[in-house]
């Protein structure tokens, strides 16, 4: 691979990373209806429009993941309706409702690619909309306030002290 090609690839990766950060900040900046199919598609489109022309559109082929392509829309609507019921009746804690929404969206696998990152952000938007929360992301804790501004905190490692 030539040096120019490598530099172009690095610029593309950086542009993608900044795009994702920009969308995260936009999505979490104010309350949004995360249990809405139109919002979900729009969020996927906004996240990946610089990467894929088809961003926000249903997958057109069957995969070994997700439901059959013919039932994507009904399954998405079921997932959003069930989540809305949990929110309305406060059936579970907000972080558990977010985890359940994430699981349901990944299970449907509506898009050809980007489903994992999209479904995590959908869950984050939901949890932020339900009030202040702390989300666990690997080695970091992400504290989300009412405005949804993420503040990253490194977990303190216990060193026998």
**All domains in the chain, ordered by first residue:** 3-124 (1.10.3290.10)
Determine if the pTM surpasses 0.85.
Answer: no
3 state DSSP class of 137? strand
3 state DSSP class of 109? coil
Tens digit of each residue's pLDDT, the chain (161 residues):
788 888 877 777 777 777 777 887 888 777 778 899 999 999 999 988 888 889 999 999 999 999 999 999 999 999 999 999 999 999 998 889 999 999 999 999 999 999 999 999 999 899 888 876 655 555 444 555 444 444 444 343 444 43
Element holding 15 (H helix, E strand):
helix 3-28
pLDDT score of 152: 42
- 141 vs 73, 75, 91, 153, CA distance in Å? 33, 31, 25, 5
């Amino acid at each position: 691979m030539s040096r120019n090609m490598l530099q172009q690839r690095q610029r593309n990766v950086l542009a993608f990373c900044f795009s994702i950060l920009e969308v995260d900040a936009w999505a979490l900046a104010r309350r949004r209806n995360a249990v809405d199919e139109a919002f979900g598609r729009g969020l996927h489109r906004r996240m990946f429009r610089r990467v894929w022309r088809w961003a926000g559109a249903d997958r057109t082929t069957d995969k070994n993941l997700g439901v059959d392509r013919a039932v994507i829309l009904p399954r998405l609507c079921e997932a959003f309706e069930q989540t809305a019921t949990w929110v309305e009746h406060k059936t579970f804690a907000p972080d558990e409702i977010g985890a359940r929404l994430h699981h349901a969206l990944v299970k449907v696998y509506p898009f050809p690619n980007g489903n994992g990152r999209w479904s995590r952000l959908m869950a984050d938007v939901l949890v932020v909309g339900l009030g202040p929360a702390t989300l666990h992301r690997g080695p970091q804790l992400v504290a989300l306030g009412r405005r949804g501004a993420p503040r990253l905190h490194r977990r303190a490692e216990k060193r026998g002290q």
